[in-house]
Amino acid sequence: MNLGLKDKIIIVTGGAKGIGEGIVKVLAAEGAIPVIVGRSEDDNLKTVAAIETSGGRAYQVVAELTQPEASEKAVKEVLDQFGRIDGLVNNAGVNDGVGLEQGNYNDFMASLHKNVVHYYLMAHHALPALKASKGAIVNITSKVADTGQGGTSGYAAANGGRNALTREWAVELLKYGIRVNAIVVAECWTPLYESWIKTLANPEEKLAEITAKIPLENRMTTAEEIANTAVFLLSERSSHTTGQLLYVDGGYVHLDRALANA
């Protein structure tokens, strides 16, 4: 399917690895020009090079998004380079384990800056360009906001905020024709997830235990599956979809877990 994204300029925060990288690669395959905004220039350039080797186009901006001023600078650099922004994917963040019992004020606030403050700031600074292009926003969020996890208050609060902002922005931006949607991720296989699994005493057993609870095919969601939905939401093929939280999770959050072993 031609999604009509050729030459569209789409910012993807945290686009060098994991889910963000998956989104960037699918965008490039659709003829868009994804712009990676991330803290590591080496990682950013590695992904850009892989896309260009495959015949696509991409760009990168180095930004430490935990610093409030970085979002404005990143957006300005994209506009200086391309003169437009057609879409924004807020994706960067990390489940940093700032809990209620073990955390403190500084840790909690730092977690919010890592995981939701830059979602607001990127959208705020990109908004004039998105108004001009009638662009779209996709927020990547986590099932932790729905299910809880334990020991991760900062990340849970941030994802609740991401979901709420998705609905709030969808309302506020209706008059500009800007659509805002979110993809809620549950158990998705990424390098970061793999690194976490390897820290456990019995990683293979733990992984098997997790996948057994995923109703559809008893397997992890792939970054490409998240990416395919994200890119669809950025395109005019989803022209009447806004304010939605889409669960690309193999039924993990909403289906009866008993189905996984049926």
- Going by C-beta distance under 8 Å and a sequence separation of 6 or more, which residues neighbour residue 161? 112, 116, 119
C-alpha span between 35 and 33 (Å, rounded): 6
Does the active-site annotation cover 155? yes
Per-residue pLDDT at 70: 98
What mean pLDDT is predicted for residues 15-41? Answer: 97
pLDDT tens for 176-217 read: 999 999 999 999 988 888 887 888 888 888 899 889 999 999
Per-residue pLDDT at 198: 87
Per-residue pLDDT at 191: 81
What mean pLDDT is predicted for residues 233-243? Answer: 98
Contacts of residues 125-129 at CB distance under 8 Å and 24 or more positions apart, as own/partner, are 125/71, 125/72, 125/75, 125/76, 126/11, 126/75, 126/85, 126/88, 127/173, 129/75, 129/79, 129/84, 129/85
Per-residue pLDDT at 21: 97
Q: Binning pLDDT at 50, 70 and 90, where does residue 257 land?
A: confident
Share of the chain above pLDDT 70, in %: 98
Per-residue pLDDT at 197: 84
| Domains identified in the chain and CATH numbers | 9-188+222-255 (3.40.50.720)
Per-residue pLDDT at 163: 98
What mean pLDDT is predicted for residues 228-246? Answer: 98
What mean pLDDT is predicted for residues 46-71? Answer: 97
Q: Binning pLDDT at 50, 70 and 90, where does residue 2 land?
A: confident
Strands of the chain (E only): list them.
9-13, 33-38, 59-62, 87-90, 136-142, 179-185, 188-189, 221-222, 245-247
C-alpha span between 78 and 24 (Å, rounded): 15
pLDDT at 256 over 90: no
Burial of 23 (0-12, 13-18, 19+ CB in 10 A): buried
Per-residue pLDDT at 200: 82
pLDDT at 253 over 90: yes
From 119, 155, 247, 252, active-site residue:
155
The mean predicted confidence, pLDDT, of the chain is 95
pLDDT at 262 over 70: no
pLDDT at 164 over 80: yes
What separation, in Å, do the N-terminal and C-terminal C-alpha atoms of the chain show? 35
Give, in degrees to the nearest 5, the angle at Cα 26 between 218 and 63. 105
pLDDT tens for 133-160 read: 999 999 999 999 999 999 999 999 999 9
Per-residue pLDDT at 189: 84
C-alpha span between 196 and 118 (Å, rounded): 24
What mean pLDDT is predicted for residues 225-249? Answer: 97
